Chain A
Amino acid sequence: MPFLPHTDAQRAEMLAACGVRQVSDLFADIPPACRTDGLRMPEGLSEIEVYERLHRLSHRNAHELTCFLGGGFYDHFIPAAVDALASRGEFFTAYTPYQPEASQGTLQAIFEYQSAICRLTKMDVANASMYDGGTALFEAAMMAIRATGRNRIVLDTGVSPIYRRMLECYTRNLAIEFEEVAVAHGQSDRRRLAAAMDDRTAAVILQNPNFFGAVDDFGDIAAAARERGCLTIVSAYPVALGLLKAPGDMGADVVTGEGQSLGLPLSFGGPYLGFLAARLALVRKMPGRIVGLTEDRRGRRGFVLTLQAREQHIRREKAMSNICSNEALCALRAVIYLSLLGKGGLAEVARLCATKAEYAKQRLAAVPGVRVKRSAPTFNEFTLELPADAAEVVAKLVDKGIAAGFPLGRYYPGMENYLLVAVTEKRTRAEIGHFAEALESVL
């Protein structure tokens, strides 16, 4: 059997030490009627056979399409050093750093991750990670509800529909009311947002850039929210923060987002990384692990899990959240990525994305019948209006080797002819040109 080191002789010796004749004696507490008589599954395979089978399956996926798909999940460049460092066994085969002296590597890395997220979002504190951007947003909403004692949430429809339906799922059994406010001309509708916020509103939830790709400055909305005593939660795209105004500079109280773009492979939907950062005043309402700096008995700097009275293993049903394992290894990848890119590199990646997207926008808008949906400025993703059903156009472009984008009709009824196109630093001028030509040929 693979991975089982005991020899039969050792098993016999251990059974004798346990004072039993056979191993089944150790399972005697299981009611006889409930004992399994052999699982109905295949015999084990060798390493060669398993690799061959899964290698074959991996080829039954269309990963080689040129990717213009985004929707919050992007085909960014990952420096080789991210994989090399994150695949060190000392990191990935450890667990939650309950014993700080034996876990300083993980703890310091998380502290650096928290620092990087705070600097990116311009917030005071960040936790050690959440599962993904959607669950981070739900936890942010719960923070606001606890902090304000109110139970209404105003939700901009520029927030990812993937996240909005997750919020709906998580709150179904809770007394939380949502009011969705539709975007106007692709951007947050100031007038209706202000009207929707009242003295029962815990928070307004916004996204930048929004799902259609439009960039915004929420300073005025955050100010209006503050006047009404409600918090502003912004879901942000971290790579864009290399170029765009940070949510903290707009007056956000809580910032969340999907960290996949910070050095994590797309991996068919996970594992990803939810980041969550907030103003210091909210720290005791935050979910999840938080690492703090302290000293040992000889005055040396060290790191520990801190403020644990918020957490389930201490507070049980009164905890701020049920989260235990989070996405520590993904957070490690993110801080390695952000260190490699650095201040200049992240700004450059952001500028490459935005510029190439602008180029793609012009090339694609030049295709007869295609229009760029008029909207606010965009970052690396934009909405095209096609003269045909976007889902059908996209299906045809697959045959030409292109994952052309996301057909918006899937989430927004009435937008069947609209296509959401994403461009990252990995897309070349030639690929963008090929996309434009292919699009023209299928319309």
Chain B
Amino acid sequence: MSELIFEQSVPGRRGCSLPKLTPAEAACHLRMPEKYMAAEPPDLPEVGELDVVRHFTNLSRRNFSVDTHFYPLGSCTMKYNPRICEKIAALDGFANLHPLLPQLRGGGMLTQGALEVLYETERLLAEVCGMEAFSLQPMAGAHGELAGIMLIAAYHRERGNRRTKVIVPDTSHGTNPASAALAGYGVVTVPSNAQGGMDLEAFKAALDDETAAVMMTCPNTLGLFERDILEIARLAHARDALLYYDGANLNALLGHCRPGDLGFDVVHLNLHKTFATPHGGGGPGSGPVGVKAALAPYLPTSIVVKRSDGTYALEYDRPESIGYLAPFYGNFGVILRAYAYLLMMGRDGLTAAAEDAVLSANYVRRRLQDRYDLPYDRVCMHECVFDAGRQAAQGVRAIDIAKALIDRGFHPPTVYFPLIVHEALMIEPTETESKEDLDRFIAALREIADLAAQNPAAFADMPATTPVTRLDETKAARDMKLRV
């Protein structure tokens, strides 16, 4: 059992050293009335630096991560995070830069390097996606979705369109309907067809003059390219509804196909997925939002512009903008890492990354399809989705397979998503995993399938190799011990 840092507290112990006040400073008495003061400082742990270092180092060892394990978590693109990007983000000239510095002297002349990073990243993302302009302000994928829907709302408001709803397929990420609702829209969910695409007839029935947007993921969360996408775009545009691209799966298309060329009007990206920035245990991410020209005036304030003399400036005078989405320019440290990655990969590197990601996913699909059911048996893109229905009938559910994988040294795939596949195992290998690792993973999943057929009871005690076995989630929700 791991003690909490609070449980290691010893009154009077200290873990940091701070400078002393000079006599002149110390002579300045705080004129702080009692009523504004805390009776006692916050009850934080009293521990030494070594206590803290040992505690968090030991905690880190209780994690699976890309650095330690194959991590094929579908829809999350857990590719390798290059260390050079960390080194660059830690450079003093970036890490120690105050975001209000551009306010001190006209036009951001004190932060030309940082503004160039932002500008160039926007241009590269616009080229990769086939969009006119980008804002890097959104601080995560879902935040980018919200931004995108707000841009769409601004577009319709400007045109006097009365729009009340957003259409999503039933394979969509939960963030899509949640973002639409947070922007004030109702949500209509359209079922998928037998080929795993959005059902065109059901879509036509749902689409009307109150439709503000259609939010699609392409390839979708089944890992399948949306074959009717051009028709969906045509139908939507005929009603002046806009087509929204959830960029979670862009890794499949890099250099092969641009969302803008498919008819998408607004995209959001996840730099922490496609562009190799670390996932951080659940963020920070970065969710840039890109648009076609018709929506560019609505992008959040400020935007970076390049002057004719080659210098960069922040533009605030944008009367049609949706306003201030972030306190400043987005998660700059994340954007910077993605920029470094883009520079290293270059044109051919991105294209090759998508090819290997798609090849690896198809290889896994083909090598496992005799052991696990494929609900949609067709060529996949960067991820493949199995249904562990056969195993479930034997008493071994997707969650049990996940736990068995943990014991074999693999982070499990995404399970129970997309929702339309009941026992979904959504596997996204990414391009940075070697064939040797894929083969080991495939062998483990084949062995697990065989074990499910022979001895389903064996799964009850899995995982057995982790610091804790299966945890009682009902008890957690009932007890609500959310702090000490």
Contact: B33 with A377, CB < 8 Å? yes
CA distance in complex: A271, B98 (Å)? 12
A154 cross-chain contacts in B, Cβ below 8 A: none
- Interface residues in A94-115 by Cβ distance below 8 A to B read 94-106, 108-109, 111-112, 114-115
Partner of B473, one of A17, A132, A294, A301: A294
CA distance in complex: A82, B472 (Å)? 32
Contact: A96 with B417, CB < 8 Å? no
Q: Which residue of A lies closest to B24 (CB)?
A: A429
Report if B307 contacts A (CB, 8 A): no
Partner of B483, one of A43, A114, A289, A355: A114
Bits for B124-150, please: 1 = Cβ < 8 Å to A, else 0.
100110100000000111110110001
Partner of B278, one of A29, A93, A340: A93
CA distance in complex: A317, B166 (Å)? 11
The count of A-to-B residue pairs whose CB atoms sit within 8 angstroms is 706
Report if B201 contacts A (CB, 8 A): no
Contact: A36 with B282, CB < 8 Å? no
Contact: A89 with B44, CB < 8 Å? no
Q: Which residue of A lies closest to B465 (CB)?
A: A101
Partner of B38, one of A112, A245, A303: A245
B262 cross-chain contacts in A, Cβ below 8 A: 31, 34
Most chain B C-beta atoms within 10 Å of own C-beta, residue among A99, A128, A270, A327: A270
Q: Which residue of B lies closest to A161 (CB)?
A: B324
Report if A251 contacts B (CB, 8 A): no
Contact: B284 with A330, CB < 8 Å? yes
The stretch of A195-203, A223-231, A356-364, A434-442 in contact with B is A356-364
Partner of B324, one of A67, A106, A169, A428: A169
Partner of B44, one of A14, A119, A428: A119
Output the least CB separation between B343 and chain A (Å): 5
CA distance in complex: A41, B129 (Å)? 12
CA distance in complex: A354, B26 (Å)? 11
Contact: A245 with B35, CB < 8 Å? yes
Most chain B C-beta atoms within 10 Å of own C-beta, residue among A162, A266, A271, A332: A271
Given contacts A10-B435, A58-B92, A304-B473, are A345 and B326 in contact (CB under 8 A)?
Answer: no
Contact: B63 with A135, CB < 8 Å? no
Report if A44 contacts B (CB, 8 A): yes
Report if B393 contacts A (CB, 8 A): no
Output the least CB separation between B182 and chain A (Å): 5
Contact: A297 with B469, CB < 8 Å? yes
Report if A366 contacts B (CB, 8 A): no
Contact: A300 with B31, CB < 8 Å? no
Report if A75 contacts B (CB, 8 A): yes
Given contacts A39-B128, A267-B333, A348-B18, are A81 and B140 in contact (CB under 8 A)?
Answer: no
Contact: B44 with A292, CB < 8 Å? no
B431 cross-chain contacts in A, Cβ below 8 A: 3-4, 6
CA distance in complex: A244, B33 (Å)? 10
Report if A185 contacts B (CB, 8 A): no
Report if A403 contacts B (CB, 8 A): yes
Contact: A6 with B359, CB < 8 Å? yes
Contact: B98 with A3, CB < 8 Å? no
CA distance in complex: A90, B284 (Å)? 15
Bits for B206-238, please: 1 = Cβ < 8 Å to A, else 0.
000000000000000000110101100000000
Contact: B25 with A356, CB < 8 Å? yes
B480 cross-chain contacts in A, Cβ below 8 A: 280, 283, 292, 306-307
Report if B411 contacts A (CB, 8 A): yes
Output the least CB separation between B412 and chain A (Å): 6
Contact: B49 with A99, CB < 8 Å? no
Report if B347 contacts A (CB, 8 A): yes
Report if A415 contacts B (CB, 8 A): no
Contact: A162 with B104, CB < 8 Å? no
A358 cross-chain contacts in B, Cβ below 8 A: 28-31
A343 cross-chain contacts in B, Cβ below 8 A: 41-46
Q: Which residue of B lies closest to A208 (CB)?
A: B36
Contact: B111 with A268, CB < 8 Å? yes
Report if A242 contacts B (CB, 8 A): yes
Contact: B255 with A39, CB < 8 Å? yes
Number of interface residues of B (CB under 8 A): 210
Report if A319 contacts B (CB, 8 A): yes
Contact: B358 with A322, CB < 8 Å? no
Q: Which residue of A lies closest to B352 (CB)?
A: A1
Report if B13 contacts A (CB, 8 A): yes
Contact: B278 with A92, CB < 8 Å? yes
Report if B101 contacts A (CB, 8 A): yes
The stretch of B288-296, B361-369, B445-453 in contact with A is B361-369
Contact: B31 with A377, CB < 8 Å? yes
Report if A118 contacts B (CB, 8 A): yes
Q: Which residue of B lies closest to A70 (CB)?
A: B100
Bits for A1-40, please: 1 = Cβ < 8 Å to B, else 0.
1111110001101110111100101111111001110111
Output the least CB separation between A314 and chain B (Å): 7
Given contacts A162-B324, A174-B184, A325-B283, are A403 and B98 in contact (CB under 8 A)?
Answer: yes
CA distance in complex: A313, B282 (Å)? 14
Bits for A386-426, please: 1 = Cβ < 8 Å to B, else 0.
00000100110010000110110010000000000000010
Contact: A129 with B283, CB < 8 Å? yes
Most chain A C-beta atoms within 10 Å of own C-beta, residue among B80, B150, B276, B284: B284
A313 cross-chain contacts in B, Cβ below 8 A: 173-175, 417
Report if B202 contacts A (CB, 8 A): no
Partner of A34, one of B87, B257, B278: B257
Given contacts A242-B41, A243-B38, are A166 and B324 in contact (CB under 8 A)?
Answer: yes
Given contacts A106-B281, A355-B26, are A268 and B178 in contact (CB under 8 A)?
Answer: no
CA distance in complex: A119, B49 (Å)? 21
CA distance in complex: A409, B395 (Å)? 68
Contact: A58 with B36, CB < 8 Å? no
A99 cross-chain contacts in B, Cβ below 8 A: 64, 402, 406, 411-412
Contact: B466 with A102, CB < 8 Å? yes
Output the least CB separation between B362 and chain A (Å): 5
Report if B432 contacts A (CB, 8 A): yes
CA distance in complex: A350, B476 (Å)? 36
Output the least CB separation between B470 and chain A (Å): 6
CA distance in complex: A77, B17 (Å)? 11
- Interface residues in B253-299 by Cβ distance below 8 A to A read 253, 255-258, 261-262, 270, 272, 276, 278-286
Report if A126 contacts B (CB, 8 A): yes
Given contacts A1-B348, A90-B65, are A344 and B41 in contact (CB under 8 A)?
Answer: yes
B4 cross-chain contacts in A, Cβ below 8 A: 108, 111-112, 115
Contact: A270 with B326, CB < 8 Å? yes
Contact: B63 with A106, CB < 8 Å? yes
B12 cross-chain contacts in A, Cβ below 8 A: 344
B479 cross-chain contacts in A, Cβ below 8 A: 292-294
CA distance in complex: A216, B37 (Å)? 10
CA distance in complex: A42, B322 (Å)? 33
Q: Which 6 A-B pairs have the closest CB atoms?
A: A44-B346, A269-B328, A58-B93, A89-B67, A329-B280, A60-B113
Beyond A168-B324, A403-B98, 5 additional contacts (C-beta under 8 Å) are A14-B363, A131-B140, A162-B324, A293-B479, A322-B142
22 sample A-B contacts, Cβ–Cβ < 8 Å, listed by A number: A34-B262, A51-B84, A58-B88, A91-B281, A93-B78, A122-B42, A242-B41, A243-B32, A243-B37, A245-B35, A267-B94, A268-B99, A304-B476, A306-B480, A317-B186, A322-B179, A324-B175, A325-B272, A352-B18, A356-B21, A394-B105, A403-B98
